[in-house]
Structure 1
Amino acid sequence: MIPHRRMLLISFLLLAGGTASEIAGPLLVQHFIDNHLTERYFPLEPLLALGGFYLFLYLSSAVMNYYQSLFFQKTSLAIVREIRNDVFQSVESLGMSFFDRFNNGAIISRITNDTEQIKELYITVLAAFVQNIFFIIGVFAAMFYLSPELALWCLAVMPVLYLLIAVYHRYSSIFYAEMSEKLSGLNSRLNESIQGMPVIQQFQQERRMIDTFSRENKAHYKAWMKTMKLDGLLLRPAVDLLSIAALMAVLGFFGYQSMNGPVEIGVLYAFVNYLDRMFEPVNQIMQRLSMFQQSIVSGGRVFRLMEHEEPPPKAEPKTMKQLNGSLSFEHVSFSYDGRTSVLDDVSFSVKKGEMLAVAGPTGSGKSTIINLIERFYAPDRGTIRFDAEPLEAVPEKVLRRDVGLVLQDSFIFSGSILDNIRMYAGEADEKEVRRAAEITGADLFIQKLPDGYHHQLGERGTSLSAGEKQLLSITRTVLRKPKILILDEATASVDTESEGQIQRALESMREHMTLVVIAHRLSTIKKADTIIVLKNGSILEKGTHESLLKQKGLYEAMYSLQKMKEKADREEARRT
């Protein structure tokens, strides 16, 4: 709020002015009743001045309340916009280990739903609290002005109101925290269902997912019902009971006074009016307490996310300008959870212009090598070096620029083909984009699209095949001309012809860059300078394609099985 203190100060001053104008109204009516109506004294000019001042107070209160509400809302929207930017920036700076443990739906819920609740704190709650507290203080000041003795009696309701608020605050905090967690669960389930819709429909799991979502939704409903029951018990009914008791006390006081002498009707009117006006703000405060509690719970969730300290491994301040292309692992070990080892004492090296292939069964640690090279995680033991320098010495900008990565699951963004290809190299012109697409073979299918390179893609490139997405992903990485290119099953989704073209393109680029290829399809890595075979996180075999076949070990067994499968597939295709 500090950067907006000027606007908030103006809002508070307008709020105080509008509240004071509202409080002064009954005092003018009381003056008219006791000094003019009961006395049957109606001078024209004083009455016109009294009526004009009353009308002025009414209009000025309306104007000031309008502008204070407008300024509060403007400020609150600006604050929430900044909070959303800050929390998104915080999430973007977190390490990959954070996203391993937190699901996407919960994160999205905190950035959207929870920040929306914080907005209500400023728009609805803060203004209402301040205005109504000002109003209650003003009402008691006016009461003491009219009758100090009766005002003291009315003060007796304040401890009861405080106890009511304390009880409500205690239980509502529990219920609203539960409700927020259930809402995060709903968002997570919804996000998971949308992302996995092809699998759900393929295996006809719609009914099971609907039932699961219904259970989550019912749990959210039950959490809401707890808050509704609490609101129904402790908000208006309890406050209305107190207001009736206070009104009975005031009327009883004036009834007792009337037995001993005359009662000023204007004072009685003013007291009854103020009592009615005093408990309405109390009701509003109590009703806003539910919003306040939601805002506090949501604010806690948002700020815990912003204050979460799990940054990715950072580089030491060095002056390294660029990578040359050599890479080595020296006795590297790593575990994601601190208990189960994923890599155990792995060592290898690859020089500039060479091709290193990593093979092995599922779960052997192939993808973990990529995660460590990209510094998504830091190794538990051992050293990773680029050009004889430890990985920690490579500046973040240099690492992201000079190490290209193409994953098996290509992520395509909404927008044009052209923008998707040059997203890593925004300064590249269309000619350079076309040249890179021709190298990888992507140009062949792009030219067939209605608008060519300007063809608009939907979310995640839904109109493209898996192979076309992969070609786009490879093209945008090649366009950046990295010193080291990592391919994680990058040709798994392309056809044989496209794979051959990609292989030829990579061969032509080998003299300019180092290749690290993760592959299940072993026929794609025959020409690798070095192949390492992983099993259970350790290097089981190392050598060239020919030397590994001669060893008659795991690599030879995997290769033979794949050759048999390819032969069977070809025979099946011929029969078909």
Structure 2
Amino acid sequence: MSSKKENIFDVNLFKRLFQYIKPYKLVFYGMLVAVILLAIFTTSIPYITKYVIDNSIAVKDPNGFLFYIILMFILLVLQSTFQLAFIFYAAWLGQNLVKDVRVKLFNHVLGFKMKYFDNSSVGVLITRTVTDMERIADIFGEGLFMIFRDLLTMIVVSGVMLFMNFKLSLIVFIMMPLLLYATRIFQKYMKKAFEEVRTEVSNLNSFVQERLTGMKILQLFTREDIEYKKFKEINERHKKGWLKTVWYNSIFFPIAELSSSITIGLIAWYGGLNVLLKGTISEGDLFAFIMFIPMLFRPLRQIADKFNTLQMGMVAATRVFKVIDTTSHIDDVGTLDVSHFKGDIKLDDVHFSYVEGEEVLRGISLEIKSGETVAIVGATGAGKTTIINLLNRFYEIKKGTISIDGINIKEVKLASLRKQIAVVLQDVFLFADTILNNITLNNPNITEEQVHLAAKNIGIHDFILSLPDGYHYNVKERGVMLSSGQRQLISFLRAYVTNPSILILDEATSSVDSYSEQLIQNATDTITKDRTSIIIAHRLATIKKADTIIVMDAGQIVEQGTHKELLKKQNGYYKNLYEVQFLKEEVA
């Protein structure tokens, strides 16, 4: 079967990779010159050795002998120098190329829709960005240029051999088809083996990443033994994939070595008899051919080995470009660059579904006036968080319009829109960095003095100073050094320092201590003042303070009004919710 998948040399893929070489074309051309010179220097040494034996040693000419030895020494120095430059710049070119591809990949992934991350494994994306990139670097550092060098060396060696002695060359070339066939079969099976290895590496990375992230859940539900067994199964498949490559290598390389040894034996037998019988072959010819055979057969073995590297790089490049070619971006076709919104928000007959045919929002129409604080309540899955996602254009609506200050949000540049909307999520994410950097997110326009002032305004400056190193305290991965309430306070400050036009709070204070809860409530009051605010409310205190309460159920707005107005509705959804959930909180 000859499918495109089995092609060892994918021309289109190479063309695409070579687009990234353009900034480094001088180095690339220098590499080609080095390859040509290396082939000449390598081949010259056995050829000169022939003259050393025939024209100096055989006739006992010391002057000629010294001349050839000096010439060989100069060639060896040149060969070593160009070899050093070749190896270094091959790796240099590979690393620079992969740096550019990695930056492009990461930048591309940063713009993906949230839906892409909903359906994709983080572990697989990490593999593409890190491990697969190193395999692409190997295409140039250890694969392509090495193969080209070896091929050119073989061509030059073959030409010199034919020029020196046709009959001896014929003996050498008789063994070549066997080795070439073995190499072709070897390459074919190694490509399949490496594809399997790459798949299992992705599975392994994905599995480990997810389990380490969810370690608390595993231990809470005593899943250690089960996950250990699953890991052993994945690891076993990974091992078997690699063992296939080891098995193919263990078959091919002895065949290649045996072919070289048999060829040397035939040359020694035929050439030796010819020399003894005073034929057309000289001692120098015989010695040179014995030196040439490894130069011809070893590169062929190395080419097969480098093809392994090349194929791993090609498989990795295919996977990386598959991600780069993924079109999963929100269409940023807006032309308006808005520096500030008044904050009038309108949703008009908005329909949306995460999964085709399963609507989450079913014709939502809603108006929020500038400066209002609106609380959204409802059961889990009612569509509260979805409204936040759509307002930020993390997802595209199926039908209807969303506008701010009378402007359709699709007409606003995506970056400009999101700069004006600050979101405090229920699940706070902090990076393994200082508190200051987690607040500013390394925005050079926000100074440390501004952060201090903002922290004082919302009442958490003293709390931050109480931590070791204060604002420069490293909270470690996901903010594990802080409590959930402390992380929430940091997220409030992160939203506040950007001075947004619209604030969205997914309030979550049910699991925090009373001290943090009071700080969060004070912070909420401060940052929502005179600013359009949407709060997904979980606490009665916040709901009662809202100018308007939106009650949602099954993707629709079922009630709307103030706290007092909604409590007056007999058998109303909000009244029932209040009596079942919020009244207990008020009594407590």
Q: Is the shorter-chain TM-score for this pair beyond 0.5, marking a shared fold?
A: yes
Counterparts of 1:463 and 1:226, CA distance in 2:
45
Which moves more between the two structures, 109-118 or 238-247?
A: 238-247
1:308 aligns with 2:353: no
Deviations 1:11-61 (A, max 9, x none): 2222322332221111122122223333xx223322211111112112221
Structure 1 residues 122 and 319: CA distance shift in structure 2, 3 A: closer
Q: Indicate which of 102, 106, 116 corresponds to 1:98.
A: 116
1:560 shift after superposition: 1.5
Matched, 1:322 2:340: yes
Cα shift readout 1:189-247 (whole Å, capped 9, x = no counterpart):
1111221122222233222222222221111111111222122223x122223324433
Look up the match of 1:3. Answer: 23
Residue of structure 2 aligned with 1:238, choices 255, 264, 271:
255
Q: 1:451 aligns with which of 445, 451, 469?
A: 469
Q: C-alpha distance in 2, partners of 1:520/1:170?
A: 60
Q: How many Å separate the matches in 2 of 1:509 and 1:150?
A: 89
Q: What secondary structure sits across from 1:155 in the alignment?
A: helix
Which residue matches 1:405? 423
SS at match of 1:481: coil
Q: Name the residue aligned to 1:574.
A: none
Q: Deviations over 1:85-133 (max 9, x none)?
A: 1211111122212111111111011111111111222221123212211
Paired residue for 2:187?
Answer: 169
Alpha-carbon distance, 1:355 to partner: 1.4
Matched residue type, 2:61: P
Structure 2 CA distance for partners of 1:266 and 1:493, relative to 1, 3 Å: same
Q: Which amino acid aligns with 1:250?
A: I
Match of 1:37 in 2: 57
* Match of residue 553 from structure 1: 572
Name whichever of 154-163 and 395-404 sits farther off. 154-163
Distance 2:196 2:370 in 1: 56
Maintained 8 Å contact 1:231/1:290: no
Task: Pick one of 122, 138, 154 that aligns with 2:156.
Answer: 138
Are the counterparts in 2 of residues 331 and 381 from structure 1 also a CA contact under 8 Å? yes
Check the 8 A contact 1:408/1:492 in 2, yes or no: no
Q: Secondary structure of the equivalent of 1:324?
A: coil
Provide the residue aligned with 1:194 in structure 2: 212
**Secondary structure of 1:19's match?**
helix
Q: Percent identity over the alignment?
A: 31
Correspondence list, 1:9-408, <5 A: 9-38=29-58, 41-234=59-252, 236-251=253-268, 253-254=270-271, 257=274, 261-262=278-279, 263-408=281-426
Find the aligned partners of 1:276 and 1:508 in 2 and give their Cα distance. 80
Letter in 1 for 2:264: L
CA distance in 2, matches of 1:526, 1:336: 32
Q: In 2, distance between residues paired with 1:336 and 1:113?
A: 32
Q: Secondary structure at the match of 1:526?
A: helix
Once the two structures are overlaid, the 10-residue window that deviates more, 13-22 or 282-291, is: 13-22
Shift of 1:304: 1.3
The alpha-carbon deviation at position 517 of structure 1 amounts to: 0.7
Q: Once the 2 structures are TM-superposed, how far is the Cα of residue 141 of structure 1 from its aligned partner? A: 1.2
Asked whether the equivalents of residues 180 and 298 of structure 1 are also in contact (C-alpha less than 8 Å), the reply is yes
Amino acid in structure 2 at the alignment position of 1:338: E
Q: How many residues are treated as equivalent by the alignment?
A: 566
Rounded Cα–Cα distance in structure 1 between residues aligned with 2:171 and 2:436: 77
Cα separation, partners in 2 of 1:347 and 1:187, compared to 1, 3 Å: same
Contact 1:332–1:344 under 8 Å retained in 2:
yes
Distance 2:522 2:261 in 1: 88
Q: Which amino acid aligns with 1:9?
A: Y
Greater shift, 13-22 or 175-184, is seen at 13-22
Question: 1:448-473, CA deviations, whole angstroms, 9 ceiling, x for partnerless residues?
Answer: 22333333332222211100110110
How far residue 257 of structure 1 moved from its aligned partner, in angstroms, is 4.6
1:395: Cα distance to partner?
1.8
Q: What amino acid maps onto 2:256 in structure 1?
A: V
Q: Which whole-Å CA distance do the structure 2 matches of 1:201 and 1:388 have between them?
A: 51
Match of 1:517 among 535, 558, 566: 535
Conservation of the 8 A alpha-carbon contact between 1:441 and 1:471: no
Q: Supply the AA of the counterpart residue of 2:549.
A: I
Alpha-carbon distance in 1 for matches of 2:65, 2:410: 84
CA–CA distance in structure 2, aligned partners of residues 511 and 441 of structure 1: 14
- 1:441 equivalent in alignment to 2:466: no
Aligned counterparts of 2:376 and 2:585: Cα–Cα separation in 1: 21
Task: Encode CA deviations 1:413-470: one digit per residue, 9 max, x unaligned.
Answer: 2333233223376433444323322333322421322333333332222211100110
Q: Does the 8 Å contact 1:76/1:119 carry over to 2?
A: yes
Q: What SS does the aligned partner of 1:480 have?
A: coil
Rounded to whole Å, the distance in 2 between the matches of 1:91 and 1:425 is 20
Q: CA deviation at 1:484?
A: 0.7
- CA 1:258–1:486 in structure 2 vs 1: closer, same or farther (change >3 Å)? same
* Residue of structure 1 in register with 2:4 after alignment: none
| 1:476 aligned residue (494, 499, 507) | 494
Letter in 2 for 1:222: K
- CA separation of 1:59/1:422 partners in 2, compared to 1, >3 Å: closer, same or farther? closer
Shift of 1:139: 1.1
Deviation at 1:528, TM superposition (A): 1.8
Q: 8 Å contact 1:247–1:272 — kept in the other structure?
A: yes
Contact 1:313–1:377 (8 Å) recurs in 2: no
Q: Is the 8 A contact 2:55 2:61 kept in 1?
A: no
Alpha-carbon distance in structure 2 between the residues aligned to 1:189 and 1:219: 13
2:332–2:410: 8 Å Cα contact kept in structure 1?
yes
SS state at 2:362 partner: strand
Q: CA deviation at 1:256?
A: 6.8
Cα shift at 1:259: 8.7
> Over aligned residues, Cα RMSD in angstroms?
2.3
Does structure 1 conserve the Cα–Cα contact (< 8 Å) formed by 2:98 and 2:137? Answer: yes
Partner SS for 2:360:
strand
Give the distance between the partners of 2:563 and 2:442, measured in 1 at CA: 34
| 5+ residue gaps, structure 1 | 571-576
Q: 2-side partners of 1:230 and 1:329: how far apart?
A: 63
Q: Which moved more, 1:82-91 or 1:499-508?
A: 499-508
Change in 2 beyond 3 A, CA 1:27/1:454: closer
Q: Is the 8 A contact 1:424 1:480 kept in 2?
A: no
Q: Alpha carbons of 1:406 and 1:42: their partners in 2 closer, same or farther (altered >3 Å)? A: same
Deviations 1:257-301 (A, max 9, x none): 569753422212222221122111111111222211111111111
Letter in 1 for 2:241: A
Question: Which letter maps to 1:24?
Answer: S
What amino acid does structure 2 have at the position aligned with 1:414?
A
- Partner Cα distance (2:508, 2:305) in 1: 57
Q: Determine helix, strand or coil for the equivalent of 2:289.
A: helix
Structure 1 pair 322–566 and aligned structure 2 pair: CA distance change class (3 A): closer
Distance 1:311 1:496 in 2: 42
In structure 1, C-alpha distance between the alignment counterparts of 2:583 and 2:543, rounded to whole Å:
17
Counterparts of 2:48 and 2:298 in 1: how far apart (Å)?
Answer: 21
**Aligned partners of 2:41, 2:526: CA distance in 1, in Å?**
82
1:406 Cα deviation from its structure 2 partner: 0.5
TM-score scaled by length of structure 2? 0.90
